[in-house]
Structure 1
Amino acid sequence: MKSVLNSPGFGITGSSGLFQCTNKLFLSDGATGLQIKEFARKNAANALSVGNMVMGMASILSSLNGHHHAACWLVLIGYLLDLADGAVARRLGACSALGAKLDDFADFTTFGIATALLLRTTDLLDNILCMCYVLSVFVRLCFFSSGIPFVYRGLPCIYSSAILASASMLSGRNLAMLRVIAVAMILFMISQNFYPHDRVLESQAWKKAVFAGGVVMVFCSSFPPACVYYLLWSVSFILFPYSLWSSKG
């Protein structure tokens, strides 16, 4: 049998063509790999925002089906995802208008609708309170800008949600207490008070350790210690916003 290289149609030109095709194939594979990496870089933060939205939708379904503890737990997971998505976007240089809108939609789903449903009963006044809570989150997300860099006007809604979810689980869903807390959180969110941009993952090491502790608590701990942890974390942001949680602090 004749060697392929010795065949009439396969000479110098034929082997050169083969090498060119091979090089093009490798270059194409390399370009595809770079495109995948670039796509991942641009959408990593968006994936976290989508994850936050999914947690919110799952919490809504859990509340509607009477699984109250699961609904609260999913809100706390959304809390962690929301703190991470902005840090990831800035770290990867992937901030965009789409990402900002997606983050707002996710926040409204998880920290507005899903959190309000934690308060829902068959009572008319409780349903009105739920609607007022959702509207306060809507106002907070639409008009949070203070005109000052890295400063918010009104309490960020993730902290009010974490307080309500934690207090609900710790109290065994004591509705009287939750109503009082919800009213207080509404007032904090629509207030004109200034709060710092909470760059937990872009600040001091101890703040990153607090975030890591939150991850450990939500996935590895029983309900009471985790709820106390998130409650103290969120209340500390309300009581000591600048002395503890300012990005410069």
Structure 2
Amino acid sequence: MILLTASSGLFQCTNKFFHSDKATGLRIKEFARRNAANALSVANMIMGLASILSSLDGHHHTACWLLLIGYLLDLADGAVARRLDACSALGAKLDDFADFTTFGIATSLLLRTSGMLDNILCICYALSVFVRLCFFSSGIPFMYLGLPCIYASAILACASMLSGGNAAMLRVIAVAMILFMISHSFYPHDRVLESQAWKKAVYAGGVVMLFCSFFPPACVYYLLWSVSYILFPTSLWSSEV
């Protein structure tokens, strides 16, 4: 009788532990599901902060490379959030903070020199990204108002690497990107990973080019990708095409 009672108690303890362990596993999975996209946004912000430090240390090539990694992370976080049904106000704020850090402050430092006018341009670029992020909503479903700042950042980063940091070229491109970002032109929502298969292939090609290619071909690849979004936004990059 005593043995039976002990066995029953052991079974109940084991069963309770099993259910507790299972519940813990489910909570961990739910936490991971809800925060997977947030993790990508934080990773994007880390790339931006690392790019800022690289620029301040004079490692401009590394700074540009980190911006392109942030480019890929930013295109992925929204797709992951919608795929996992984990969109939230916190996620939206994290995404904006990450975008301003990487595509605003870090990108603007590519324009920084010892000259006062270049530093003013640097400030104006960061402010234009801030304005773009604050007033991006167009009121039209699946559309942006003004050029998304990730494409302006990618164009500046690629131009910087391909030209060896030519200041005159970067100034002209930066002014053009500022005008595109604060314009009232409509651009389609860039759901690259939720659209046609060829767009997913373009994204996959970007990953391959970034990690498996020498930098000139990768820069040309990202430059063509970003410029095509500016030149053919609706006919080529709309999710409804």
Structures share fold, TM-score greater than 0.5? yes
Work out whether 1:165 is the aligned partner of 2:157.
Answer: yes
The letter of the residue matching 2:150 is I
Which digits, 9 at most, give the CA deviation of each residue in 1:209-241, with x for residues without a partner? 000000001111111000000000000000000
| Correspondent of 1:208 among 169, 193, 200 | 200
The letter of the residue matching 1:23 is N
Name the TM-score, length of structure 2 as normaliser: 0.99
Identity %: 84
Unmatched tracts of structure 1, length 5 or more: 1-7
Counterparts of 2:6 and 2:31, CA distance in 1? 37
Residue aligning to 2:102: 110
Residue aligning to 2:44: 52
The letter of the residue matching 1:121 is T
Q: Please report how far the alpha carbon of residue 11 of structure 1 lies from its aligned counterpart in structure 2 after TM superposition.
A: 2.5
| Correspondent of 2:190 among 198, 207, 210 | 198
Structure ID, larger Rg: 1
Name the Cα RMSD after superposition. Answer: 0.7
Counterparts of 2:151 and 2:219, CA distance in 1? 13
Counterparts of 2:93 and 2:158, CA distance in 1? 27
Q: What's the secondary structure of 1:152's corresponding residue? A: strand
Q: How does 1:32-51 map to 2 (within 5 A)?
A: 32-51=24-43
| Correspondent of 1:142 among 121, 134, 137 | 134
Which digits, 9 at most, give the CA deviation of each residue in 1:29-78, with x for residues without a partner? 11111111101000000000000000000000000000000000000000
Provide the aligned length of Structure 1 versus Structure 2: 241
Unmatched tracts of structure 2, length 5 or more: none
Q: How does 1:198-237 map to 2 (within 5 A)?
A: 198-237=190-229
Counterparts of 1:220 and 1:121, CA distance in 2? 31
The letter of the residue matching 2:166 is N
Q: How does 1:19-30 map to 2 (within 5 A)?
A: 19-30=11-22
Which digits, 9 at most, give the CA deviation of each residue in 1:154-197, with x for residues without a partner? 00000000000000000011110000000000000000000000
Counterparts of 1:186 and 1:75, CA distance in 2? 17
Name the TM-score, length of structure 1 as normaliser: 0.96
Counterparts of 2:111 and 2:68, CA distance in 1? 16
Q: What's the secondary structure of 2:87's corresponding residue? A: coil
Runs of 4+ in 1 over 6 A off after TM superposition: none
Q: How does 1:68-87 map to 2 (within 5 A)?
A: 68-87=60-79
